[in-house]
Amino acid sequence: MLKPRKKLTRKELKRDPLMESLYRLRHWWLEHRTRVSRFGIVGLVIVVLAFLVFRWRASQNEKAAAVVGMAFVEYGQGNYNTVITLLNAHVDEYSGFKSFGNGLYLLARSELFVGDSTRAEEHYRRYLDDYGDDALIKSGALTGLGIIAEGRGQHRDAAELFKKANRFAPTESLRQQYAIYAGRNYILSEQPVEALDILQPILDSDELDFQKRSEIQALVASAKALSG
């Protein structure tokens, strides 16, 4: 008859690295199982909540994209008041969601078109605060703020805004146009040196069409006359 095998001692277990690891794991589990179970439940709750938030944000992004799509159609038809009504109804609900960025810019632009510079300024700044990753739209928002400042006679502020727009503009044509705006407002705010700093390098380039070259030449002449 086979004799029952005696229970292995810990000293004997140490001879086998695998058995020693299992022994330590079992000992650790018995000591910490309550805490591990609690953390496991908390971790599961966090994962579930993260998944639900992700699904909710994805759903909200889809809804925001649909609203912005409708606004673009109305904007293309020149229905600026319709755009304003449509987007204002959702701006607080969707602002901050990725797909609503273009909508916020479109809202500000439409408000500027209908002469509501106060709301347009608010929404341009909100776009720059919440989004501003797209260089083209960011430079457009800065230009919108510059137009508002220029219309209020705040030429120094307008010049700085147009200068920033010039820096972020993604194409040479836009950089030239924003430089012209900035140079004009620097002259109007009696800052000829700043006007020449931004206009002269463009005038010295070979990438100017006849109209812009003529406009910049006139501004450079005015700046030089102002500087004495």
What is the structure's pLDDT at 31?
A: 66
pLDDT, tens digit (0-9, with 9 covering 90-100), for 148-192: 999 999 999 999 999 999 999 999 999 999 999 999 999 999 999
Average pLDDT over residues 102-118: 93
What is the structure's pLDDT at 19?
A: 54
- Domain range list for the chain: 65-227
Check pLDDT > 50 for residue 70. yes
- Asked if 139 and 168 touch (Cβ cutoff 8 Å), the reply is yes
Buried b (16+ CB within 10 A) or exposed e, 100-132: bbbbbbbbbbbbbeeebbebbbebbebbbeebe
**CA 39 distance to own-chain centroid:** 37
In whole angstroms, give the CA distance from residue 216 to residue 199.
Answer: 7
The encoded tokens of residue 13 equal 């277990």
Q: Which of 195, 142, 145, 183 minimizes the C-alpha distance to 165?
A: 142
What is the structure's pLDDT at 48?
A: 39
Which CATH topology does 65-227 take?
1.25.40
The encoded tokens of residue 60 equal 């909200």
Sign for the CA dihedral angle at 28, 34, 40, 43 comes to negative
pLDDT, tens digit (0-9, with 9 covering 90-100), for 3-12: 444 454 555 4
- Asked if 99 and 61 touch (Cβ cutoff 8 Å), the reply is yes
Mean pLDDT of the chain: 80
Of the pLDDT bands very low, low, confident and very high (cuts 50, 70, 90), residue 44 is very low
